[in-house]
Amino acid sequence: MNSLFLHTRKISHCKASKLKARCSFHHGKIRTMIGLQQRSFCLLALSFLFSLCFSFLCADAIFWQTAQAMSLDELDNLSSRFEVQQSILLPYNLRNKKNIKEILYGNSQMGYYVSQNWSVSAGTLTLLFTPPTYHYPIFIKAVSRQGTTTQLMTYNAKSPVPAIFKRITFQLSKGPLSEPFYLINGALPRRILHDPSFSSLDPELFRKNHHRFTFIVVINRFGEIVWLHVPIIGDALFSSYLSAKKVGDGFYGMMFGKHSGYFEIVRHNGIVERRFSSKDAQTPFVMHHDFETIASKKLYAVGNEVKNMHTYTKSSKDKNTTFVTDTIIGIDLLNQSSRKLLGFDKYFHPGITPYTTGDAPDDKKFVLWGQPKADVDFLHINAVDYVPKKGVLVSFRNISKVGMIDNSFDKLLWTLGSEKEDTYYISSKAHQFHHQHTPIMLSDNSLLLFDNAITTKESRVVKYQLNRKKGRAHMTWEFKPTPQLFSKDRSSVYVLSNNNYGIYFVNPRKKNQKVSSIPNKDIYIEVNPRNNQEVGRMEITFPVASPGYRMLPLETMSNDHPYQGAPIKQSWHNTQQTPKAQ
């Protein structure tokens, strides 16, 4: 399995050997620089270094924590450290489980959640939960069968997030955000694992994926990291981009595309339920950009095929030119089998369909392990989204179209785009989209998407009304931030529970900038579409090339559901137990 990854590295050193190695290095360096002619000065310098080391070791514990390295074993077990267990002696009237209707935990800042993971034995409640915040106390309450709420405990949680992960910053300039949680991609420099103080402004660090390792993160509405998961196979970390989604209550799916060819489903308690490697399949294939899990055992991923351009264009200049076209692959996660379900040659190909890659002419595209790279990326599917009773919505980035395929993955039902041949034709050039992401069906005849707008370089979110009878689509709403931003690729929009829109600009630049001013910063904006006003804004900064792809709203991290009952009063007093932070 190690061959799946771009880089592998074992990271396990004891602190004592590290300190000894560093001291030996510095001591040798001093001797080399000074020589034997100034022994007294050398001894004085060594004495100073010794005192400096001593003062460092005696420094505040928080400072020492920031200097700690991390092993792969520690990273591998990280996501399991967020779930906590509490044992609480119940009041006499609640010591029989039959008298308890619900166990709740939460606070006014994050709301309350109905626990699905509790038991009562010998009058003691045992509760498992994942804290939704570490900045505010969490109140644990019991609701009796009669509807009476009793506060059982005030819990002050201590964050298990290692210091190095706090190098990713979530700066809330307007908010808090509406949804309680958000799922995003994270990345850190690989070097930071054994050199926690490492930082660099080298542009190379913010351009090349191989300098980083990637993972998924859940933050709350205040920008706290409240859960994260670092996928590791053997001694290997991932470097490539990833696509992540919630695939069930407390279950997260993530796919590492192209060279990695890896998918896994992990529970909120850190247990990896299923894995799949497309490189190790009976017939290896490349997965990329997105996936869908309509059933728990079935995975539908974007794959690709390499074709000869001349076959479709009949142009002599294309005889030696190859291109990548995308497919939909069906995968059975139980028996690890896979097969091609749908290709798009009969609908789109370079001979009849205009395309724009946005890539440099010499930017070759990975096709399959051991095979030559292709010259052109033709379709570049970047989203597959199941729409119940309608089909699967697909975004074809490089031909600037959105399409709906049927639930059986047999055929394309309709398309939306800027060609007259499209089922829904957008005739106004000002209303047409280019290199879009995350299309969403709002209703049978209304669609929302993120328009990267590579022609105008003014990225926006747009809403279309679809008229099947006339074969037309009309833009009915748009949003552009102030100042205007341009995200060349990636980015997303989602509908929130309050009907606001959450818009994620990845690696944005101002309109007239050739490159991003800060290539490791993303911007998230929450907009009220009824008045086009921003109600929330967050800047997300990474110490390495931005891994941003989407920012998905979550109502819960685990299988515990938001409490929908009567308003809860929270008290900072009259609690039976107030444990120390763990």
Per-residue pLDDT for the chain (582 aa), expressed as one digit of tens each?
333 333 333 333 333 333 333 333 333 332 333 233 344 444 444 444 444 443 333 333 332 334 478 999 999 999 999 999 999 999 999 999 999 999 999 999 999 999 999 999 999 999 999 999 999 999 999 999 999 999 999 999 999 999 999 999 999 999 999 999 999 999 999 999 999 999 888 888 888 888 999 999 999 999 999 999 999 988 889 998 899 999 999 999 999 998 999 999 999 999 999 999 999 999 999 999 999 998 778 999 999 999 999 999 999 999 999 999 999 999 999 999 999 999 999 999 999 999 999 888 889 999 999 999 999 999 999 999 999 999 999 999 999 999 999 999 999 999 999 999 999 999 999 999 999 999 999 999 999 999 999 999 999 999 999 999 999 999 999 999 999 999 999 999 999 999 999 999 999 987 777 666 556 899 999 999 999 999 999 999 999 999 999 999 999 999 999 999 877 765 544 343 433 333
Neighbours of 281 (CB within 10 A): 17
In a domain, 98, yes or no: yes
In a domain, 531, yes or no: no
Same domain, 28 and 89: no
Same domain, 93 and 44: no
Same domain, 41 and 93: no
> How many structural domains does the chain have?
2
Same domain, 133 and 90: yes
In a domain, 8, yes or no: no
In a domain, 354, yes or no: no
User: What CA–CA distance (Å, rounded) separates 278 from 263?
Assistant: 8
- DSSP assignment, residue 238? -
In a domain, 541, yes or no: no
In a domain, 219, yes or no: no
In a domain, 121, yes or no: yes
Structural domain of residue 39, as residue ranges? 16-51
In a domain, 40, yes or no: yes
Q: Exposure pattern of 449-473 as b/e (b: 16+ CB <10 Å)?
A: bbbbbbebbebbbbbbbbeeeeebb
User: What CA–CA distance (Å, rounded) separates 131 from 342?
Assistant: 43
With a threshold of 0.75, does the pTM exceed it? Answer: yes
Same domain, 41 and 96: no
Same domain, 134 and 88: yes
Same domain, 91 and 27: no
- DSSP assignment, residue 373? P
Q: DSSP for 450-479?
A: EE--TTTT--EEEEEEEETTTTEEEEEEEE
